[in-house]
Chain A
Amino acid sequence: MFAFLLNRLAHAVLVLLVVSVLAFTLGNTVGDPVASILGLDATPADRAALRTRLRLDEPVVVRYFLYLGDLLSGRLGNSYGAQRPIIDLLAERIPATVELALAALVLSVVIGVPLGVFAAAHPEKRIVRFLMTSSVIGVSVPTFILGIILIFTFSLTLGWLPSFGRGEVVKFEYWSTGFLTASGLKSLIMPAICLAIGQIALVARLARAEMMGVLRTDYIRFARARGLSDRAVNFSHALRNTLIPIITVSGIQLGYLVAFAVVVEQVFQWPGMGTLFLQALSQTDIPLISAFLMAAALFFVSINLVVDLLYAIADPRLRIRTQMQGAGG
């Protein structure tokens, strides 16, 4: 198991290095920082002085390591568009995206798992067949169309929920939360549902498949023979053994949730990382784009590490498999 975790950790570092090279190349080849700082009417002497001060005359490799040092100490530079330190911009936007993704994750597990269990326990019921068939539609409808339908129905037609923004937020130190105000919660409902629908269908399908497998095992038959109620068998005996794959997949899904959060944030004008990134793209704000690349890489690498860790804890077979494969697997 130790070899497996070491292998995954090395992989994480490799991913971060590859992305840092890309981000560095992006910042290095596009635009001229000297021109953008000094403007057009600077003297050649001023330019040369600034070039030396920014260490732009050093060889590329040296500058790459300087860049890595900056990254590690959190010096991400200034955004061209907002004219503010990027680290502040990110710190402002991260809570919004995290809260949106968390709400969607909770929804997809809380709704998806019971649905899947129900579908596995009663495969012959008509409502179950209908739900399984319609889950294809849940997976097929693009997120942004779902968002448009929600806005059209609940904001434009019924006027129940706000169609954009995050509502009022409460600030603690570095974190701003919308969970504590009525308008914050109201604004969260539609974006969270929009992000969760596809995941609910996925989690329900997975939970159903896992449950069907477990329900065929001997210990479930024995539990039924002992005269336990259906509810006791389904929830306290069978579900327990299906939770591990569900938790793992939910972890992987968190990555997908954040990827699709970009779309949902754009539809609902949610002030998170996604809208920040789209703004950066449309303004060709290179420092912000490359900082976003690094932030995204760090985020996805961490998620993968946590999921790998969960795997290793949950599945003892993995230890044997990695020993057989060696470090190459």
Chain B
Amino acid sequence: MTPDMPSDGNLLARMRRHPVAGSLLATPVTLVALLALLLVVACAIFAPWIARTDPYDLATLDLLDSHLPPAFMAKGDPRFLLGTDSQGADLASLLLYGLRVSLLVGVLAVSISVTLGTIAGLISGYLGGLVDSIVMRIADIQFTFPAMMLALLIGGVSQSLLPNDKRAALAMPIVVIALGISHWPHFARLVRGAVLVERQKDYVAAAQLAGRGHLVLMFRHILPNVLNPIFVLATLDIAFAIMAEATLSFLSFGMPPTQPSLGTLIRIGYGYLYSGEWWVVVFPALTLVVLLVSINIVGDWLRDLLDPKLR
């Protein structure tokens, strides 16, 4: 909060005038989404401390506990808040760890897209000419295919080429790279456009006259001024990456059952839907939807706040 504000109101009135807090208070949906997102991320980060059991530790499983409904139902067991799966694993713990995997894959994939796209966009916008033509042509070729299709092609083909015993171990890097590659052109285009505008400005000319090298100019002078749109797009892109990862996992070309993400849990649970064990699929699906909706709402809010041009 800015200190020079007149202190004529209570805390709430003062917060309403603050640009960030005010826009949050004006749209309660955004506030709820932000809180939900923070809660979900906290659950994912602290999963090993919150979860009652470690689902990766097969020694804790007891087949006698399998197929139990959630604790609030008549046949439920108070030890298993959300019930158990066919192996007797605690669904709540699986969910917390699955959330962790989904978020981790999403964040890693977007960091790859951001890094690749930002470097390509900076170089191509700054240097122009032949380099620009080549980079933008490659991006254009990739834009011919929808990102989801590309992620499925890269991830699916590489998974299917691997021998069976290596698939599980390499699943995470493959998914992360497939998703990262499928989205870099979006960042490249965005950054290139912003760099073309920035390059005309006086501060760049001044730095050039001061004898700064190209790399220093690109990364120390221009990059900080194009960070806002990158940040906004990256936030919204995490939602895409998480959804694409869940889709790949649902099609069984994503995360393996030994290290399940939310999508893997949904795929496994879907098989039990026909036998009436709805909880194995409903809770992961609900978590995934809450995660995606809240990222999208918070992303839209950030866009309006930081970069109205992107609207």
Contact = CB atoms under 8 A, between A and B. Distances in A.
B is bound to A: yes
B281 A148 contact: yes
Interface stretch (A54-62, A182-190, A278-286): A278-286
Given A263-B247, A289-B157, A136 B144 contact: no
B152 interface: yes
B270 A26 contact: no
Interface in A133-164: 133, 136-137, 139-145, 148, 151-152, 156
A148 B250 CA distance: 11
The size bracket of the interface on B is 35 or more
A136 B149 contact: no
B160 A289 contact: yes
Contacts of A328: 133
Contacts of B159: 281
B296 A136 contact: yes
B69 to A, nearest CB: 17
Interface string B230-246: 00000000010001001
B161 A263 contact: no
B247 A30 contact: no
Contacts of B157: 26, 281, 289
B145 A263 contact: no
B80 interface: no
A263 B278 CA distance: 21
Given A282-B160, A328-B133, A266 B297 contact: no
A296 B247 CA distance: 19
A170 B310 CA distance: 48
A15 interface: yes
B197 interface: no
A296 B252 contact: no
Dominant secondary structure at the A interface: helix
B274 A156 contact: yes
Contact of B285 (A145, A289, A293, A300): A145
Nearest to B159: A281
A284 B293 contact: no
B145 A139 contact: no
Contacts of B296: 136, 139-140
10 contacts: A15-B144, A26-B157, A30-B161, A142-B246, A142-B289, A145-B288, A259-B149, A282-B252, A296-B149, A300-B149
Interface of A: 11, 14-15, 18, 26, 30, 133, 136-137, 139-145, 148, 151-152, 156, 255-256, 258-260, 262-263, 266, 277-278, 281-282, 284, 289, 293, 296-297, 300-301, 304, 328
Interface of B: 29, 133, 137, 140-141, 144-146, 148-149, 152-153, 156-157, 159-161, 239, 243, 246-247, 250-253, 266, 270, 273-274, 278, 281, 285, 288-289, 292-293, 296-297, 300
Given A140-B292, A258-B146, A258-B149, 17 more contacts: A11-B141, A14-B137, A14-B141, A15-B141, A133-B29, A136-B296, A141-B289, A141-B293, A142-B243, A256-B148, A262-B152, A263-B247, A293-B153, A296-B145, A296-B149, A296-B153, A304-B144
